[in-house]
Amino acid sequence: MIEAILVEKDERGYRAQATTVREEQLPEGEVTVRVEYSTLNYKDGLAITGKGPVVRSFPMVPGIDFAGVVEASTDPEFSAGDRVILNGWGVGEQHWGGLAQKARVKGSWLVHQPPSISSRDAMAIGTAGYTAMLCVIALERFGLTPKHGPVLVTGANGGVGSFAIAILSGLGYRVVAATGRVSETAYLEGLGAAEIIDREQLSKPGKPLQKEQWAAAIDSVGSHTLANVCAGLRADGAVAACGMAQGLDLPSSVAPFILRGVSLLGINSVTRPREERVEAWRRLAASSGAMGLARATREIALRDVLAATEELMAGKLRGRVVVNVWK
């Protein structure tokens, strides 16, 4: 038997519990992994609470990422004893995920863990840090450098936002952090933010073109926030959009795009080609900002996941939480 968080939906309703499952219940896949660490993401919170239509089949083990050691593999890329990482690919939504002591997945979903980091470090970075790095890489490919000017990060206290600040500041960018918790200014400045603004400046309907302020942005919020970010970018600036905490809508106009040459870069962190995933994890392992933030992380056990999820969904959780599934 293996310990797991299990989400079920039947005539008794929608519920999640810490329980045990039989190993033979694991779904089909080429690689069986002894999970060492998982983490707690916003999407996991939606899956566990049922507050968003995330889970596609039941019963489901949530957990959109994990790190651990290969136990058995029919994929020639992986052998028993290899340390691996998984993010995305519908794990925790359509396929049993990382909030369990073992997982069985397709080999193509995995990457080898960089040798310089531990499984705990990998999950302290997790999908949040990985997504932030994909955003940074996209802006770099667009041509952004620190000399172009300040970079705005929305959702600054969240997982993606915190890592984006740490990574960008470590690369020499001047970072402006937008947050709903301005009382956390000292925390954000400690990550490397040079300026803190209240998210209220961005979260309400605004004009389609506003004062040019930022050379680029990383947005994990969506909706009116993303529209106002686009409206406030400098000419030929770009925003990497990776989330929808405020909403999936984009109540904007074409004005920033056709009058200022603003570019909207969509970030899909779920189904990236292996070479992109490997590059992102290589960069993360080498990022002093990302690794510094990863090591200031709260660790919980599987039995604590449901209580921590309530904190997460209430907006009371700061930074990263890693789940030691054997604790």
Query: Containing H/E element for 285?
Result: helix 274-286
Of 96, 143, 98, which is closest to residue 263 (Cα–Cα)?
A: 143
> What pTM was estimated for this model as a whole?
0.93
- Provide Rg for the chain, Cα atoms: 20
CATH, domain range 127-266: 3.40.50.720
Query: Which tens digits make up the pLDDT trace of 113-171?
Result: 999 999 999 999 999 999 999 999 999 999 999 999 999 999 998 889 999 999 999 99
CATH class held by domain 2-113+297-324:
alpha beta
320 and 39 in contact (C-beta within 8 Å)? yes
Query: Which tens digits make up the pLDDT trace of 227-269?
Result: 999 999 999 999 999 999 899 999 999 999 999 999 999 999 9
| Cβ atoms < 10 Å from Cβ of 235 | 11
Q: How far apart are CA 128 and CA 246, in angstroms?
A: 17
48 and 30 in contact (C-beta within 8 Å)? no
Task: Identify the pLDDT of residue 318.
Answer: 67
CATH 3.90.180.10 domain range(s) in the chain: 2-113+297-324
Q: Where are the alpha helices (DSSP H) in 23-182?
A: 42-49, 119-142, 159-170
* Rounded mean pLDDT, 65-93: 97
CATH 3.40.50.720 domain range(s) in the chain: 127-266
Task: Identify the pLDDT of residue 292.
Answer: 84
Tell me the C-alpha to C-alpha distance, in Å, between residue 249 and each of 203, 254, 320: 13, 15, 27
Name the pairing type of β-strands 83-87 and 110-112. Answer: antiparallel
288 vs 243, higher pLDDT:
243
Answer left, alpha or beta for residue 126, where phi above 0 means left and psi between -120 and 50 means alpha. Answer: left
Task: Identify the pLDDT of residue 246.
Answer: 94
